[in-house]
Structures are given as C-alpha cells and as structure tokens.
Amino acid sequence: MKTVIWIIGALLIVVGVISLIFGDFTLLQHEAAIELAPLKLRAAEGSTIPLPPLIGGALVILGVVLMTVGLADAGLPMKRRLD
C-alpha cells in the first residue's frame, strides 16, 4: 500500500508540473462533415479547457505530501544524521 501511495504522489507531481507549464489542454472531436461514396471529409472541432495555476500547485503539494506519507509508512528515514 505504501508503494501505491508513493507512486500516486509521484504521478500527481508530474501532472501538476505539466499543468503549470502548459496551462490548458484542448479536446478535439472529429465529425463526419461530408460522406460521398469514395470520399469522406471530416471536420475537427476543439474546445480548450484552462487549468488555473492554483490547481497545478495544489497537485504538486498533494503529491509531495503523499510521497512523504508513503516514505514514512515504509519506515524509511526522512533525514539521515551525520555523526
């Protein structure tokens, strides 16, 4: 379970960083515009969905928290003391 939490945290960090870099994403829908026997013309219509930087930052923070919890549950030391 701790490894799954750690992996989910890493994925959230990646998605958060990508959303901070790009800021939005576009969904495309392909529709058949004209269909003649040997010829088919298709039209693509896109809709852009903006992602606020707050969401990207929240995903990164949540990912860091989940990775920290995953490491703590695994019993791995968070800091090493140098004596």
pLDDT (tens digit, 9 = 90+) per residue, 33-47?
777 777 777 777 888
Quickly list H helices, the chain.
2-22, 53-73
Task: Please answer whether residues 14 and 62 qualify as being in contact, where contact means their C-beta atoms are separated by less than 8 angstroms.
Answer: no
How far, in Å, CA of 70 to CA of 66, rounded? 6
- Residue 45, beta-bridge partner list: 29
Task: Please answer whether residues 24 and 52 qualify as being in contact, where contact means their C-beta atoms are separated by less than 8 angstroms.
Answer: no
pTM for this prediction: 0.63
Question: Which residues are within 8 A (CB) of 76 and not within 5 positions of it... i.e. 6 or more apart?
Answer: none
pLDDT (tens digit, 9 = 90+) per residue, 35-80?
777 777 777 788 888 888 899 999 999 999 998 887 776 565 555 5
Helix (H, G, I), strand (E, B) or coil at 44: strand
